[in-house]
Structure 1
Amino acid sequence: MFKSQKLFITILILLSTSIFANDCQDIRLDQGENAPFKNLPIHDQMYGKQKDSQMCYAFAGSQFIDAVIQNDLKAKGHITSPITSALQTKLSPTRANGSRVNLLSNISRGAGRSGLGVGQINILFNQLRQGYSCDQNFLTSIGIKDPNTFWEPFVYEFYSNKTVEEKINSVKEELRLRGVKEGFFDIVNDETLAIAVTKKGFYLREQAIFDKICENNKIELSLPELEYHDYSPSDVGYNETDDEFKKRFQVDEVNPHAIQNISTSLESGNNLPVIVDICAEVLTEKEKSFKRSLPAMNGSCSNHSVLVIGQRKAMDNSCQYLVRNSWGDYRNYDEAWEVDEKGQIWVDAKTLSSSILKVIHAK
């Protein structure tokens, strides 16, 4: 028994070594003449140190869309708005059986916030397959950046005991105080504002505003077919021990299949990034990987969507992956990681694999 167990462990080590010390071609989707991310800025989901929008799924998804747009040469300089990507995701969410969620019940998402935070990136792509990309540059030019700061006045006025005209005037006044430019009011007239402060259905009110804004500032999308790989334990019991979980799911410390999916896609020549959902904490504390926080992640692992836009061979011949994050100027990364001036992080394959929940890439 002991000899067979030792042989099994040896085989696992050899398999792991072959996966994580592979040829590992040097690939950078942010460098070179036709690199899609060469001139695409990194979005900032934080909106300041204390204002996390929790829209990482929309930021990662929007940047993937931008890579598609840049590769197709549709509109150089166009940057997809994560706000409108998130809104389209929330507008027509579908259940597992394909039925639509009742939007009319979505009247409030609390405290005047936009309600666009926390979402699933696979739903985003399903909804945007025939959706549109609205230009973030234009939204910024008319003073719209933080979806919560922008949308709060609309929610407050929806619940206020005022006439429609009074609500419209109050919204205008408050939006100007929050930095919204006159160009916004040149596009969004009082009739549209009236819909936004009276219509039932939380996201339907937002749709009226953003459809008007984006009318002449959007690109219709045609996205490639995607493959989804789910490595997250959807039915981990809160009272289950690590040993019990590993016995049921045979969880290994590393996930060679996930790494292989990433490398194969990057090396395919499609010039597109790979989206991975990871344990966010591994970026700030290397040891807090997904697999080490089981069972039930113990409250120490939060799902975070990022892009992998490159790979390289390290000095020890292992493979490293370039992660494009969406934390803006936030620089509290683990000292083990090499971080460039843009906030992109080089993470070794073994650690990344132990933190992966999902992998999404073009077929």
Structure 2
Amino acid sequence: MTVMHRAAELEAEGRKIVHMEVGEPDFNTAQPIIEAAKAALDAGLTHYTAAPGIDELRDCLVLHYKSRYGIEVARERILITPGASGGLSLLANLLISPGDGVLLSDPAYPCVRNFIQLMAANPQLVPVEMRDNFQPSLAQLDAVRDASTSGVWLASPSNPTGAIMSRDQLTEVCGWARQQGLHVLVDEIYHGLHYVEDLPSVLEVDDSAYVVNSFSKYFGMTGWRLGWIIVPTHAIEKANILAQNFYISASSIAQHAAVAGFSRDASEILEQRRQAFRERRDFLCAALQDIGLMIPDEVQGAFYVYADVSRFSSDSEKFCRDMLEIHGIAITPGTDFGDHKARRFVRLAFTTSMADLELGVSRLREALS
């Protein structure tokens, strides 16, 4: 957020800033979703809902998991949350005790570490490499695990790398965790924003895993603050109690709006936007490689490129500061996402228009030539 704040200050001074730091789709919420929210307001659906969410939305998710992943998920296992952050907070309280260790990839979404630390528990960072598609091996997980470890939290697709865990990798990690007596939680917030043929849910290979997801990214509902979690049957009662005590219920209007996100009209819009992100990804990856940045062979999902800038700088924070102050390009240093080789990497988001991406690439090329 420091980069975003400084970029806003420069814009207030009249500078044209190219925003490649923002982890938010630039598209407005699809019109069918907006119309559904208006209808809910007109119908007076402005009261508390049940803590786990309205049945209509949870049933949409039941059908979603059946049609997209071919799995049966009972409605009772699905809880609608105030954003994925609300879901992660609930799951941290459900799964972690003070003094526990939780295995995380490094780099990873930074807020996850904070949710773990709020429980007086310890993030156990597992360094991952570009050559391994930023995925931890079982040997790496086993090397970092100790007697305090209670779970492993992963993400697919990942922020900041966009890397997707293959079906075999998910199966191996879940099997290893089961042998060690650890719970598994997978952040699937960027599901839907994928550019490969196979994007498995962890629930396809392990029905006991925990899932957190969101209406923010693929559904383009960032400001509505709405997400969901899926828990195993044995955790339903405790998860509901936590939901009742933490937030009573997610926004009623956001929930009724989200139902329309599964309509045919909305789905067509959302798929068009995914194609637009694919085109931006293709343009940006080719340009960054041409400029001389080291990037993964394939950005598989989300809307980020995690690029190695060590050819041009040994300090990603200074690199990003100079790009912003001198060249008007806002990008995020790797130090926001972890410790491992963090000063070699930056995250570039393709969440802005193609015209702005072209301008940003032009400025970056000029700065590094």
Same fold (TM over 0.5): no
Instruction: Say which structure, 1 or 2, has more relative contact order (CA 8 Å, 6+ apart).
Output: 2
More helix by share: 2
